[in-house]
Amino acid sequence: MKKQLVALGLAAGLVMSPTVYSYAQGNGSADLSEKVKWSDRVGTPEFVSGKLTKASKDSAETIVFNYLNGKEGSFKLGGDAKNSFKVLEKQQDELGFTYLRLQQVYKGTPVFGSVITAHVDKDGVLTALSGAVQPDLDKKAGSKADKVSKKDAISKGEADLTAAAGSQPDYEYAPKADYVIFMKDGTAHYAYHVNYNFLSPEPGNWDYFVDASSGEILSKYNSIDHAKPGGGATGGTNTVGTGTGVLGDTKSLNTLLSGSTYYLQDNTRGKGIFTYDASSRTRLPGTLWADADDQFNASYDHAAVDAHYYAGVTYDYYKNTFNRNSYDNNGAALKASVHYSRNYNNAFWNGSQMVYGDGDGVNFIEFSGGIDVVAHELTHAVTEKTAGLVYQNESGAINESLSDIFGTLVEFYSGKSPDWEIGEDIYTPSKQGDALRSMSDPTKYGDPDNYASRYTGTSDNGGVHTNSGISNKAAYLLSQGGTAYGVKVTGVGTSKTGAIFYRALTQYLTPQATFSQLRAAAVQSAVDLYGSSSQEAASVNAAFDAVGVH
Protein backbone atom coordinates (compact mmCIF):
# COMPACT_ATOMS: atom_id res chain seq x y z
CA MET A 1 0.00 0.00 0.00
CA LYS A 2 1.31 3.45 -0.84
CA LYS A 3 2.61 5.16 2.25
CA GLN A 4 0.55 8.25 1.49
CA LEU A 5 -2.56 6.18 2.02
CA VAL A 6 -1.39 4.53 5.21
CA ALA A 7 -0.83 7.62 7.27
CA LEU A 8 -2.36 10.83 8.47
CA GLY A 9 -5.89 9.53 8.55
CA LEU A 10 -3.39 11.37 7.34
CA ALA A 11 -10.41 14.38 -9.48
CA ALA A 12 -10.62 15.52 -11.49
CA GLY A 13 -12.75 17.44 -13.91
CA LEU A 14 -11.43 20.04 -16.23
CA VAL A 15 -10.96 23.48 -14.74
CA MET A 16 -11.92 26.28 -17.06
CA SER A 17 -9.70 29.30 -17.42
CA PRO A 18 -10.94 32.54 -15.89
CA THR A 19 -13.49 34.33 -18.02
CA VAL A 20 -13.50 38.10 -17.57
CA TYR A 21 -16.28 40.25 -18.93
CA SER A 22 -18.39 43.26 -18.09
CA TYR A 23 -22.07 43.44 -17.38
CA ALA A 24 -23.87 46.54 -18.48
CA GLN A 25 -27.12 45.60 -16.87
CA GLY A 26 -28.50 44.91 -13.41
CA ASN A 27 -28.22 46.60 -10.04
CA GLY A 28 -28.93 50.04 -11.49
CA SER A 29 -25.45 50.59 -12.85
CA ALA A 30 -23.84 50.51 -16.29
CA ASP A 31 -20.21 50.51 -15.18
CA LEU A 32 -19.90 47.51 -12.90
CA SER A 33 -17.34 45.02 -14.17
CA GLU A 34 -17.03 41.49 -12.88
CA LYS A 35 -14.44 38.75 -13.04
CA VAL A 36 -16.13 35.39 -13.38
CA LYS A 37 -14.83 31.84 -13.13
CA TRP A 38 -17.30 29.31 -14.47
CA SER A 39 -17.80 25.86 -13.04
CA ASP A 40 -17.22 23.13 -15.60
CA ARG A 41 -19.06 20.77 -13.26
CA VAL A 42 -22.45 22.54 -13.24
CA GLY A 43 -22.15 25.41 -15.73
CA THR A 44 -22.81 28.27 -13.31
CA PRO A 45 -20.28 30.76 -11.90
CA GLU A 46 -18.07 29.28 -9.17
CA PHE A 47 -16.33 32.56 -8.27
CA VAL A 48 -17.36 36.12 -9.07
CA SER A 49 -15.39 39.13 -7.86
CA GLY A 50 -15.20 42.87 -8.38
CA LYS A 51 -17.47 45.76 -7.59
CA LEU A 52 -20.60 43.72 -8.12
CA THR A 53 -23.22 46.20 -6.88
CA LYS A 54 -23.62 49.85 -6.06
CA ALA A 55 -23.24 51.00 -2.44
CA SER A 56 -26.34 50.26 -0.40
CA LYS A 57 -27.73 50.49 3.11
CA ASP A 58 -29.79 47.33 2.62
CA SER A 59 -29.01 44.19 4.59
CA ALA A 60 -26.27 41.96 3.24
CA GLU A 61 -28.86 39.29 2.47
CA THR A 62 -30.98 41.70 0.44
CA ILE A 63 -27.94 42.89 -1.50
CA VAL A 64 -26.94 39.34 -2.37
CA PHE A 65 -30.43 38.16 -3.30
CA ASN A 66 -31.04 41.25 -5.49
CA TYR A 67 -27.77 40.58 -7.26
CA LEU A 68 -28.62 36.93 -7.90
CA ASN A 69 -32.08 37.87 -9.15
CA GLY A 70 -30.47 40.28 -11.61
CA LYS A 71 -28.25 37.48 -12.93
CA GLU A 72 -30.90 34.80 -13.42
CA GLY A 73 -29.41 34.00 -16.82
CA SER A 74 -26.15 32.93 -15.17
CA PHE A 75 -27.33 31.31 -11.93
CA LYS A 76 -30.64 29.84 -13.22
CA LEU A 77 -32.32 29.58 -9.83
CA GLY A 78 -35.79 29.54 -11.36
CA GLY A 79 -37.37 31.97 -8.92
CA ASP A 80 -36.72 34.54 -6.22
CA ALA A 81 -33.25 33.95 -4.81
CA LYS A 82 -34.40 34.49 -1.24
CA ASN A 83 -36.44 31.28 -1.55
CA SER A 84 -33.43 29.36 -2.88
CA PHE A 85 -31.10 29.82 0.10
CA LYS A 86 -30.93 29.40 3.85
CA VAL A 87 -28.47 31.58 5.77
CA LEU A 88 -26.06 29.29 7.62
CA GLU A 89 -23.73 31.95 8.96
CA LYS A 90 -23.46 35.73 9.07
CA GLN A 91 -20.38 37.44 10.47
CA GLN A 92 -18.61 40.77 10.30
CA ASP A 93 -14.86 40.32 10.00
CA GLU A 94 -11.96 42.48 11.14
CA LEU A 95 -11.68 44.11 7.69
CA GLY A 96 -15.26 45.40 7.82
CA PHE A 97 -16.78 42.85 5.45
CA THR A 98 -20.10 41.21 6.22
CA TYR A 99 -19.62 37.58 5.35
CA LEU A 100 -22.52 35.22 4.54
CA ARG A 101 -22.54 31.46 4.08
CA LEU A 102 -25.69 30.31 2.27
CA GLN A 103 -27.07 26.80 1.76
CA GLN A 104 -28.96 26.28 -1.51
CA VAL A 105 -32.41 24.74 -0.99
CA TYR A 106 -35.20 23.70 -3.31
CA LYS A 107 -38.66 23.98 -1.79
CA GLY A 108 -37.01 23.83 1.61
CA THR A 109 -34.85 20.75 0.93
CA PRO A 110 -31.08 21.38 1.12
CA VAL A 111 -29.03 20.59 -1.99
CA PHE A 112 -26.07 18.53 -0.79
CA GLY A 113 -22.73 20.32 -1.13
CA SER A 114 -24.26 23.39 -2.76
CA VAL A 115 -23.15 26.26 -0.55
CA ILE A 116 -22.06 29.76 -1.53
CA THR A 117 -20.33 32.51 0.37
CA ALA A 118 -20.78 36.23 -0.17
CA HIS A 119 -18.83 39.29 0.96
CA VAL A 120 -20.36 42.74 1.32
CA ASP A 121 -18.01 45.60 2.24
CA LYS A 122 -18.65 48.36 4.76
CA ASP A 123 -20.23 50.54 2.06
CA GLY A 124 -22.76 47.86 1.18
CA VAL A 125 -21.00 46.79 -2.01
CA LEU A 126 -21.03 43.09 -2.91
CA THR A 127 -17.40 42.22 -3.69
CA ALA A 128 -17.37 38.43 -4.12
CA LEU A 129 -19.51 35.33 -4.48
CA SER A 130 -17.83 31.94 -4.10
CA GLY A 131 -19.30 28.52 -4.85
CA ALA A 132 -21.32 27.06 -7.73
CA VAL A 133 -25.08 26.65 -7.36
CA GLN A 134 -27.09 23.89 -9.00
CA PRO A 135 -29.08 25.43 -11.88
CA ASP A 136 -32.59 24.68 -13.13
CA LEU A 137 -33.76 22.68 -10.13
CA ASP A 138 -37.30 23.74 -11.00
CA LYS A 139 -36.87 21.58 -14.12
CA LYS A 140 -34.65 18.82 -12.70
CA ALA A 141 -36.01 18.08 -9.24
CA GLY A 142 -39.58 17.24 -10.14
CA SER A 143 -41.93 16.16 -7.39
CA LYS A 144 -41.21 13.86 -4.48
CA ALA A 145 -42.10 10.21 -4.89
CA ASP A 146 -40.60 8.75 -1.74
CA LYS A 147 -40.98 5.01 -1.36
CA VAL A 148 -38.07 4.51 1.04
CA SER A 149 -38.22 5.54 4.69
CA LYS A 150 -35.32 6.97 6.65
CA LYS A 151 -35.10 3.67 8.55
CA ASP A 152 -34.99 1.70 5.30
CA ALA A 153 -32.29 3.98 3.89
CA ILE A 154 -30.13 3.42 6.97
CA SER A 155 -30.61 -0.35 6.57
CA LYS A 156 -29.63 -0.20 2.88
CA GLY A 157 -26.31 1.45 3.65
CA GLU A 158 -25.69 -0.78 6.64
CA ALA A 159 -26.16 -3.90 4.52
CA ASP A 160 -23.62 -2.59 2.02
CA LEU A 161 -21.13 -1.73 4.76
CA THR A 162 -21.54 -5.11 6.42
CA ALA A 163 -21.00 -6.95 3.14
CA ALA A 164 -17.81 -5.01 2.46
CA ALA A 165 -16.41 -5.33 5.99
CA GLY A 166 -17.50 -8.91 6.67
CA SER A 167 -19.28 -7.98 9.90
CA GLN A 168 -21.71 -5.37 11.14
CA PRO A 169 -20.00 -2.16 12.29
CA ASP A 170 -19.87 -1.37 15.99
CA TYR A 171 -21.16 2.21 15.92
CA GLU A 172 -19.82 5.05 18.01
CA TYR A 173 -23.27 6.61 17.77
CA ALA A 174 -26.47 5.57 16.03
CA PRO A 175 -26.46 6.15 12.26
CA LYS A 176 -28.19 9.39 11.34
CA ALA A 177 -29.91 10.39 8.10
CA ASP A 178 -30.74 13.78 6.59
CA TYR A 179 -33.10 14.38 3.70
CA VAL A 180 -31.36 16.15 0.81
CA ILE A 181 -31.32 16.68 -2.92
CA PHE A 182 -28.30 14.85 -4.31
CA MET A 183 -27.02 15.55 -7.81
CA LYS A 184 -25.64 12.67 -9.86
CA ASP A 185 -24.75 12.93 -13.54
CA GLY A 186 -26.91 16.02 -13.89
CA THR A 187 -29.98 14.40 -12.33
CA ALA A 188 -31.52 15.64 -9.09
CA HIS A 189 -32.42 12.86 -6.67
CA TYR A 190 -34.40 13.20 -3.47
CA ALA A 191 -32.19 11.16 -1.17
CA TYR A 192 -31.09 10.36 2.36
CA HIS A 193 -27.59 11.37 3.41
CA VAL A 194 -26.69 8.71 5.98
CA ASN A 195 -23.61 8.86 8.20
CA TYR A 196 -22.11 5.76 9.86
CA ASN A 197 -19.35 6.35 12.40
CA PHE A 198 -17.55 3.35 13.86
CA LEU A 199 -14.20 1.95 14.99
CA SER A 200 -14.77 -1.75 14.40
CA PRO A 201 -14.08 -3.79 12.30
CA GLU A 202 -11.85 -0.87 11.26
CA PRO A 203 -12.31 2.90 11.75
CA GLY A 204 -14.84 4.47 9.43
CA ASN A 205 -16.87 7.64 9.07
CA TRP A 206 -18.87 6.73 5.99
CA ASP A 207 -21.29 8.96 4.10
CA TYR A 208 -23.95 7.20 2.01
CA PHE A 209 -26.52 8.73 -0.33
CA VAL A 210 -29.61 6.55 -0.79
CA ASP A 211 -32.29 7.42 -3.35
CA ALA A 212 -35.57 8.04 -1.53
CA SER A 213 -37.61 6.59 -4.37
CA SER A 214 -35.67 3.55 -5.56
CA GLY A 215 -33.42 2.77 -2.60
CA GLU A 216 -30.39 2.85 -4.93
CA ILE A 217 -27.07 3.76 -3.31
CA LEU A 218 -26.12 6.81 -5.36
CA SER A 219 -22.71 7.43 -3.80
CA LYS A 220 -20.59 6.56 -0.79
CA TYR A 221 -17.21 7.53 0.63
CA ASN A 222 -15.25 7.28 3.85
CA SER A 223 -14.61 10.71 5.37
CA ILE A 224 -12.67 9.48 8.41
CA ASP A 225 -10.50 12.58 8.38
CA HIS A 226 -13.60 14.63 9.19
CA ALA A 227 -12.27 12.17 12.38
CA LYS A 228 -16.48 9.86 21.70
CA PRO A 229 -15.84 12.16 24.04
CA GLY A 230 -15.42 11.20 27.63
CA GLY A 231 -15.56 13.24 30.79
CA GLY A 232 -12.58 14.73 32.54
CA ALA A 233 -11.81 14.92 36.20
CA THR A 234 -14.23 17.05 38.19
CA GLY A 235 -12.89 19.61 40.60
CA GLY A 236 -9.25 20.02 41.46
CA THR A 237 -6.38 22.46 41.04
CA ASN A 238 -4.68 23.51 37.82
CA THR A 239 -1.00 22.59 37.95
CA VAL A 240 2.04 22.46 35.69
CA GLY A 241 3.93 19.20 35.34
CA THR A 242 6.64 17.95 33.03
CA GLY A 243 6.97 15.04 30.67
CA THR A 244 9.18 13.39 28.09
CA GLY A 245 7.98 13.22 24.50
CA VAL A 246 8.31 10.54 21.84
CA LEU A 247 11.62 11.95 20.60
CA GLY A 248 13.07 12.28 24.12
CA ASP A 249 12.55 16.02 24.64
CA THR A 250 11.19 17.47 27.88
CA LYS A 251 8.00 19.52 27.89
CA SER A 252 5.96 21.49 30.42
CA LEU A 253 2.38 20.29 30.66
CA ASN A 254 -0.78 21.93 31.95
CA THR A 255 -2.37 19.32 34.22
CA LEU A 256 -5.05 19.01 36.90
CA LEU A 257 -4.56 17.81 40.46
CA SER A 258 -7.71 16.09 41.72
CA GLY A 259 -7.41 14.34 45.04
CA SER A 260 -3.90 12.91 45.02
CA THR A 261 -3.78 12.25 41.26
CA TYR A 262 -2.54 14.41 38.40
CA TYR A 263 -4.42 14.24 35.10
CA LEU A 264 -3.58 15.33 31.55
CA GLN A 265 -6.36 17.86 31.62
CA ASP A 266 -5.55 21.43 30.57
CA ASN A 267 -8.23 23.85 31.75
CA THR A 268 -6.37 26.97 30.53
CA ARG A 269 -7.38 26.72 26.87
CA GLY A 270 -10.99 26.96 25.68
CA LYS A 271 -13.13 24.27 27.29
CA GLY A 272 -10.10 22.15 27.96
CA ILE A 273 -7.61 19.74 26.45
CA PHE A 274 -8.05 16.12 27.55
CA THR A 275 -5.70 13.24 26.78
CA TYR A 276 -6.81 9.61 27.24
CA ASP A 277 -5.27 6.16 27.32
CA ALA A 278 -6.96 3.76 24.88
CA SER A 279 -4.85 0.94 26.40
CA SER A 280 -4.27 -0.76 23.03
CA ARG A 281 -8.02 -1.24 22.61
CA THR A 282 -10.38 0.22 20.03
CA ARG A 283 -12.86 1.78 22.43
CA LEU A 284 -12.87 5.54 22.79
CA PRO A 285 -11.96 7.62 24.55
CA GLY A 286 -10.43 5.30 27.17
CA THR A 287 -9.39 6.59 30.58
CA LEU A 288 -8.17 10.10 31.33
CA TRP A 289 -4.39 9.94 31.63
CA ALA A 290 -3.35 9.87 35.29
CA ASP A 291 -0.05 10.12 37.16
CA ALA A 292 0.97 10.12 40.81
CA ASP A 293 3.66 12.85 40.82
CA ASP A 294 3.06 15.16 37.81
CA GLN A 295 6.22 13.81 36.15
CA PHE A 296 5.22 12.02 32.94
CA ASN A 297 8.56 10.47 32.09
CA ALA A 298 7.87 6.73 31.70
CA SER A 299 8.19 5.34 28.18
CA TYR A 300 4.47 4.57 28.15
CA ASP A 301 3.82 8.28 28.84
CA HIS A 302 5.66 9.61 25.79
CA ALA A 303 2.78 9.44 23.30
CA ALA A 304 0.40 11.09 25.77
CA VAL A 305 2.88 13.86 26.56
CA ASP A 306 3.18 14.86 22.91
CA ALA A 307 -0.53 14.53 22.14
CA HIS A 308 -1.33 16.81 25.06
CA TYR A 309 1.42 19.34 24.45
CA TYR A 310 1.04 19.62 20.68
CA ALA A 311 -2.73 20.02 20.97
CA GLY A 312 -1.97 23.05 23.14
CA VAL A 313 0.49 24.46 20.61
CA THR A 314 -2.06 24.01 17.81
CA TYR A 315 -4.76 25.67 19.89
CA ASP A 316 -2.37 28.58 20.60
CA TYR A 317 -1.47 28.97 16.92
CA TYR A 318 -5.08 29.36 15.84
CA LYS A 319 -5.95 31.57 18.83
CA ASN A 320 -2.92 33.85 18.76
CA THR A 321 -2.71 34.09 14.97
CA PHE A 322 -6.37 34.24 13.90
CA ASN A 323 -8.21 34.72 17.21
CA ARG A 324 -9.89 31.36 16.59
CA ASN A 325 -11.04 29.74 19.83
CA SER A 326 -10.55 26.01 19.15
CA TYR A 327 -11.67 24.23 16.01
CA ASP A 328 -15.29 25.39 16.25
CA ASN A 329 -14.32 28.94 17.28
CA ASN A 330 -16.41 28.43 20.40
CA GLY A 331 -13.79 26.88 22.66
CA ALA A 332 -14.64 23.22 21.93
CA ALA A 333 -12.71 20.78 24.09
CA LEU A 334 -9.79 19.10 22.34
CA LYS A 335 -9.82 15.39 23.12
CA ALA A 336 -7.31 12.78 22.10
CA SER A 337 -6.67 9.11 22.75
CA VAL A 338 -3.23 7.54 22.41
CA HIS A 339 -2.16 3.87 22.35
CA TYR A 340 -5.10 3.10 20.08
CA SER A 341 -5.24 -0.56 19.01
CA ARG A 342 -1.96 -2.49 18.53
CA ASN A 343 0.80 -1.53 16.12
CA TYR A 344 -1.71 0.81 14.50
CA ASN A 345 -0.11 2.73 11.63
CA ASN A 346 -2.37 5.74 11.52
CA ALA A 347 -3.79 8.81 13.20
CA PHE A 348 -7.19 10.31 12.49
CA TRP A 349 -9.90 12.76 13.46
CA ASN A 350 -13.15 10.79 13.76
CA GLY A 351 -15.53 13.75 13.88
CA SER A 352 -15.28 14.16 17.66
CA GLN A 353 -11.71 13.65 18.78
CA MET A 354 -8.15 12.80 17.81
CA VAL A 355 -6.96 9.19 17.75
CA TYR A 356 -3.29 8.15 17.58
CA GLY A 357 -1.79 4.77 16.90
CA ASP A 358 1.60 3.69 18.21
CA GLY A 359 2.91 2.56 14.84
CA ASP A 360 4.59 -0.78 14.27
CA GLY A 361 8.06 0.51 15.18
CA VAL A 362 9.32 -0.12 11.64
CA ASN A 363 7.22 2.05 9.36
CA PHE A 364 6.08 4.41 12.09
CA ILE A 365 6.59 5.28 15.72
CA GLU A 366 3.93 6.92 17.92
CA PHE A 367 2.00 9.28 15.65
CA SER A 368 1.52 11.97 18.28
CA GLY A 369 5.30 12.52 18.18
CA GLY A 370 4.92 14.67 15.05
CA ILE A 371 3.68 18.19 15.66
CA ASP A 372 2.70 18.54 12.02
CA VAL A 373 0.69 15.31 12.33
CA VAL A 374 -1.24 16.64 15.34
CA ALA A 375 -1.88 20.01 13.70
CA HIS A 376 -2.78 18.32 10.40
CA GLU A 377 -5.51 16.29 12.05
CA LEU A 378 -6.89 19.15 14.13
CA THR A 379 -7.03 21.29 10.99
CA HIS A 380 -9.41 18.70 9.52
CA ALA A 381 -11.71 19.68 12.38
CA VAL A 382 -11.38 23.38 11.51
CA THR A 383 -12.17 22.56 7.88
CA GLU A 384 -15.20 20.51 8.91
CA LYS A 385 -16.58 23.48 10.87
CA THR A 386 -15.89 26.07 8.14
CA ALA A 387 -15.69 25.19 4.45
CA GLY A 388 -16.97 21.64 5.00
CA LEU A 389 -14.91 20.36 2.08
CA VAL A 390 -16.32 17.07 0.82
CA TYR A 391 -13.65 14.39 1.30
CA GLN A 392 -13.57 13.27 -2.31
CA ASN A 393 -11.94 14.31 -5.59
CA GLU A 394 -10.67 17.89 -5.85
CA SER A 395 -12.43 19.20 -2.73
CA GLY A 396 -10.97 16.27 -0.77
CA ALA A 397 -7.47 16.97 -2.08
CA ILE A 398 -7.84 20.62 -1.05
CA ASN A 399 -9.01 19.40 2.37
CA GLU A 400 -5.86 17.28 2.75
CA SER A 401 -3.64 20.05 1.44
CA LEU A 402 -4.97 22.63 3.89
CA SER A 403 -4.19 20.20 6.72
CA ASP A 404 -0.65 19.82 5.39
CA ILE A 405 -0.29 23.59 5.01
CA PHE A 406 -1.43 24.42 8.52
CA GLY A 407 0.34 21.39 10.00
CA THR A 408 3.54 22.87 8.60
CA LEU A 409 2.72 26.42 9.68
CA VAL A 410 2.09 25.22 13.25
CA GLU A 411 5.51 23.54 13.11
CA PHE A 412 7.04 26.88 12.09
CA TYR A 413 5.06 28.62 14.84
CA SER A 414 6.49 26.23 17.42
CA GLY A 415 10.05 26.71 16.18
CA LYS A 416 10.60 22.94 16.47
CA SER A 417 13.06 22.34 13.61
CA PRO A 418 10.46 23.44 11.05
CA ASP A 419 10.60 22.21 7.48
CA TRP A 420 8.34 21.59 4.50
CA GLU A 421 8.12 17.82 4.96
CA ILE A 422 5.09 16.03 6.40
CA GLY A 423 5.41 13.36 9.11
CA GLU A 424 9.20 13.23 9.03
CA ASP A 425 9.46 12.86 12.83
CA ILE A 426 7.39 9.68 13.05
CA TYR A 427 8.05 7.94 9.74
CA THR A 428 10.60 5.08 9.36
CA PRO A 429 12.55 5.60 12.59
CA SER A 430 15.60 3.70 11.30
CA LYS A 431 15.89 5.83 8.17
CA GLN A 432 16.79 9.51 8.26
CA GLY A 433 15.85 12.18 5.75
CA ASP A 434 12.54 10.82 4.48
CA ALA A 435 8.92 11.74 5.11
CA LEU A 436 5.37 10.95 4.10
CA ARG A 437 5.01 13.91 1.77
CA SER A 438 7.01 16.92 0.70
CA MET A 439 5.52 20.35 0.10
CA SER A 440 8.69 21.75 -1.46
CA ASP A 441 8.94 18.85 -3.91
CA PRO A 442 5.81 16.68 -3.93
CA THR A 443 7.25 14.55 -6.75
CA LYS A 444 9.88 13.23 -4.33
CA TYR A 445 7.23 10.87 -2.97
CA GLY A 446 5.23 10.34 -6.14
CA ASP A 447 2.71 13.17 -5.78
CA PRO A 448 1.99 15.70 -8.55
CA ASP A 449 3.29 19.26 -8.32
CA ASN A 450 1.24 20.48 -11.28
CA TYR A 451 -2.42 20.19 -12.22
CA ALA A 452 -1.52 18.69 -15.58
CA SER A 453 -0.05 15.68 -13.73
CA ARG A 454 -2.98 15.14 -11.38
CA TYR A 455 -4.31 11.68 -10.57
CA THR A 456 -7.67 11.04 -12.27
CA GLY A 457 -8.59 7.59 -10.92
CA THR A 458 -11.06 6.60 -8.23
CA SER A 459 -8.86 5.09 -5.49
CA ASP A 460 -8.20 7.02 -2.29
CA ASN A 461 -11.51 8.90 -2.77
CA GLY A 462 -10.22 10.24 -6.07
CA GLY A 463 -6.63 10.84 -4.98
CA VAL A 464 -7.13 13.09 -1.95
CA HIS A 465 -3.69 12.25 -0.51
CA THR A 466 -2.03 12.50 -3.92
CA ASN A 467 -3.46 15.58 -5.62
CA SER A 468 -2.93 17.54 -2.41
CA GLY A 469 0.61 17.95 -3.73
CA ILE A 470 -0.62 20.51 -6.27
CA SER A 471 -1.74 23.13 -3.77
CA ASN A 472 0.97 22.09 -1.30
CA LYS A 473 3.52 23.18 -3.88
CA ALA A 474 1.64 26.44 -4.48
CA ALA A 475 1.66 27.19 -0.73
CA TYR A 476 5.39 26.42 -0.48
CA LEU A 477 6.17 28.74 -3.42
CA LEU A 478 3.95 31.48 -1.99
CA SER A 479 5.81 31.33 1.30
CA GLN A 480 9.37 30.65 0.27
CA GLY A 481 9.48 31.75 -3.35
CA GLY A 482 11.14 29.92 -6.22
CA THR A 483 10.65 28.91 -9.81
CA ALA A 484 8.54 26.03 -11.12
CA TYR A 485 7.64 25.20 -14.71
CA GLY A 486 9.23 28.45 -15.82
CA VAL A 487 7.20 30.64 -13.47
CA LYS A 488 9.07 32.70 -10.87
CA VAL A 489 7.32 33.33 -7.57
CA THR A 490 8.33 35.94 -4.99
CA GLY A 491 7.88 34.52 -1.50
CA VAL A 492 5.86 36.42 1.10
CA GLY A 493 6.76 34.32 4.17
CA THR A 494 4.91 31.91 6.42
CA SER A 495 2.84 34.50 8.29
CA LYS A 496 1.21 36.00 5.20
CA THR A 497 0.82 32.59 3.59
CA GLY A 498 -1.11 31.46 6.67
CA ALA A 499 -3.28 34.58 6.66
CA ILE A 500 -4.18 34.14 2.99
CA PHE A 501 -5.02 30.44 3.21
CA TYR A 502 -6.90 30.82 6.50
CA ARG A 503 -9.13 33.50 5.03
CA ALA A 504 -9.67 31.39 1.92
CA LEU A 505 -10.59 28.37 4.07
CA THR A 506 -12.90 30.09 6.50
CA GLN A 507 -14.58 32.68 4.25
CA TYR A 508 -14.42 31.66 0.60
CA LEU A 509 -14.16 27.90 0.11
CA THR A 510 -17.33 25.83 -0.21
CA PRO A 511 -18.00 22.08 0.13
CA GLN A 512 -17.35 21.08 -3.48
CA ALA A 513 -14.54 23.53 -4.20
CA THR A 514 -12.24 22.91 -7.15
CA PHE A 515 -8.58 23.87 -7.48
CA SER A 516 -9.67 26.73 -9.72
CA GLN A 517 -11.98 27.99 -6.97
CA LEU A 518 -9.15 27.63 -4.44
CA ARG A 519 -6.99 29.87 -6.59
CA ALA A 520 -9.74 32.49 -6.84
CA ALA A 521 -10.34 32.26 -3.09
CA ALA A 522 -6.65 32.71 -2.29
CA VAL A 523 -6.30 35.63 -4.71
CA GLN A 524 -9.38 37.34 -3.30
CA SER A 525 -8.11 36.77 0.24
CA ALA A 526 -4.79 38.41 -0.65
CA VAL A 527 -6.65 41.33 -2.24
CA ASP A 528 -8.81 41.74 0.87
CA LEU A 529 -5.81 41.64 3.20
CA TYR A 530 -3.13 43.47 1.23
CA GLY A 531 -4.73 45.18 -1.76
CA SER A 532 -5.26 44.39 -5.43
CA SER A 533 -1.88 45.84 -6.45
CA SER A 534 0.06 44.16 -3.66
CA GLN A 535 3.02 41.83 -3.99
CA GLU A 536 1.02 39.30 -1.99
CA ALA A 537 -1.78 39.18 -4.59
CA ALA A 538 0.77 38.97 -7.42
CA SER A 539 2.58 36.13 -5.65
CA VAL A 540 -0.62 34.14 -5.15
CA ASN A 541 -1.37 34.41 -8.86
CA ALA A 542 2.18 33.39 -9.75
CA ALA A 543 2.18 30.45 -7.32
CA PHE A 544 -0.95 28.97 -8.88
CA ASP A 545 0.36 29.69 -12.38
CA ALA A 546 3.43 27.68 -11.41
CA VAL A 547 1.33 24.63 -10.54
CA GLY A 548 -0.91 24.90 -13.58
CA VAL A 549 -4.11 25.97 -11.81
CA HIS A 550 -5.95 28.75 -13.65
Give residue 428's identity as a one-letter amino acid code: T
DSSP 77: -
Give catalytic residue positions: 377, 465
CATH number for 541: 1.10.390.10
Domain assignment present for residue 139? The answer is no
- pTM for the full model? 0.93
Check whether residue 408 and residue 475 sit in a common domain: yes
pLDDT at 416: 83
- 218 is a domain residue: no
30/81 same-domain check: yes
One domain for residues 408 and 514: yes
How much is the pLDDT for 490? Answer: 98
Reduced to 3 states (helix: H, G, I; strand: E, B; else coil), residue 40 is coil
pLDDT of 145 reads 85
Residues constituting the chain: 550
In a domain? residue 143: no
pLDDT for the residue numbered 232: 54
Residue 540 and residue 410 share a domain: yes
Q: Would you give the DSSP letter of residue 224?
A: G
Q: What is the mean pLDDT of each run of 10 residues along the chain (550 residues)?
A: 41 28 34 84 97 97 98 96 98 97 97 98 98 96 90 97 91 95 96 95 94 97 59 77 98 97 98 98 96 98 98 98 98 98 94 95 97 97 97 97 98 95 96 96 98 96 97 98 98 98 98 98 98 98 98
Number of structural domains in the chain: 4
Write the Ramachandran bin of 8: left for phi over 0, alpha for psi from -120 to 50, otherwise beta: left
- What is the CB neighbour count within 10 angstroms for residue 16? 16
pLDDT for res 456 = 97
Is there a domain that residue 447 lies in?
yes
For position 422, what pLDDT does the model report?
97
377 assigned to some structural domain: yes
CA proximity to 394, closest of 446, 449, 477, 471: 471
Q: Where would I find the H helices in 59-186?
A: 60-70, 72-75, 137-140, 150-165
Domain extent, residue 478, equals 3-12+388-546
Question: Of the residues 100, 134, 168, which one is the last residue of a structural domain?
Answer: 134
298: CATH: 3.10.170.10
pLDDT value, residue 234: 56
Query: Which residues are registered as beta bridge partners of 91?
Result: 99
Do both 417 and 489 map to the same domain?
Answer: yes
